[in-house]
Amino acid sequence: MSHPAPHPRKIIIDTDPGQDDAVAILLALASPELDVLGITVAAGNVPLPLTQKNARVICELAGRRDMKIFAGCDAPLAQRLVTAEHVHGKTGLDGIALPDPTMPLSPGHAVDFLIDTLRREPAGSVTLCPLGPLTNIATALAKAPDIAPKIAEIVLMGGAYFEVGNITPAAEFNIYVDPEAADIVFRSGVPIVVLPLDVTHKALTSREWVERMRGLGTEAGRAVASWTDFFERYDTAKYGSLGAPLHDPCVIAYLLQPDLFTGRQIHVAIELEGRHTRGMTVADWWRVTEGAPNAFFIGGVKRDAFFDLLTERIARL
């Protein structure tokens, strides 16, 4: 007996591309299990005019000129924008020269798209996938609190605990850029899955994998190889490890194959005041407080299977 194909899972990707955001977006667009309703863009790795342009470059590369891409917030809720050109280069997508995009942005603000979509779609049917600072998501939750119970899940890349910080000794970049936004999201009551540095620093590219990407002989394969090469030089210099951590693709891989990952349901608080620790994700991994669990905090990944999944999917583009 043949079974009908299950409906693809509806997602909205919220992003600030970024080379690893780009690989995550390609992975999602290559995966029939996912129905990407739209891509909302925020300022983060580089300012908004560049992140929204990069999102369009990536979709055109994937042959998806039809994708809805919305520009969103250009600054964090309560502080000035911190960017990461030292990691991602001047354009945010350094590593390979790609044509300027010709597809337009969708009209309207990313926050309104998030609100309208969540109000329109059946409750529990849309998953949000933030790959950058949480400004757009928090603004939508603050403006329209009625959407919170309608969100199926928020699966995000951000934070760190045992691995501590990458932008300060205590804080991970996405959370550090907009701690007030992260605080709103983590206190929203929406089910949250966190892919922190604790796991993404285990998802390190190997030379062999990068050359496999290049060897695909496709534009997407060449781009992934060149982006990760660019990204790697920073992490190698900083951590002394070989390979680039594919942070954001972990979010999409989790949606596709959650059994590749292990974690714990725990309480996570966002530090807003610490003199040295602002933006830290204070994760109660050992459950030493009464804090009610609000997040599934991931710590482990089956690395080889993760890269096999990426290879198989990127090869489809």
Residues of this chain that bind ligand BDR (CB under 6 A)? 18, 20-21, 45, 84, 87, 131-132, 157, 166, 172-174, 247-248
- CB nearer Ca ion, residue 161 or residue 231: 231
- CB nearer ligand BDR, residue 87 or residue 283: 87
Q: How far is the CB of 177 from ligand BDR (least distance, A)?
A: 8
Q: How far is the CB of 148 from ligand BDR (least distance, A)?
A: 23
Q: Taking CB within 5 to 8 Å according to partner kind, which of ligand BDR, Ca ion, none is near residue 14?
A: none
At a CB cut-off of 8 Å and minimum separation 6, what does 108 contact?
Answer: 70
Q: Taking CB within 5 to 8 Å according to partner kind, which of Ca ion, ligand BDR, none is near residue 51?
A: none
Is 247 considered catalytic here? Answer: yes
CA-based nearest residue to 272, from 138, 153, 74: 138
Q: Taking CB within 5 to 8 Å according to partner kind, which of ligand BDR, Ca ion, none is near residue 260?
A: none
- CB nearer ligand BDR, residue 166 or residue 294: 166
- CB nearer ligand BDR, residue 45 or residue 127: 45
Point out the catalytic residue in the list 88, 201, 247, 267. Answer: 247
Q: In which residue are the tokens 């993760």 written?
A: 306
Q: How far is the CB of 290 from Ca ion (least distance, A)?
A: 33
Q: How far is the CB of 217 from ligand BDR (least distance, A)?
A: 27
Q: Taking CB within 5 to 8 Å according to partner kind, which of Ca ion, ligand BDR, none is near residue 173?
A: ligand BDR
Residues identified as active-site: 247
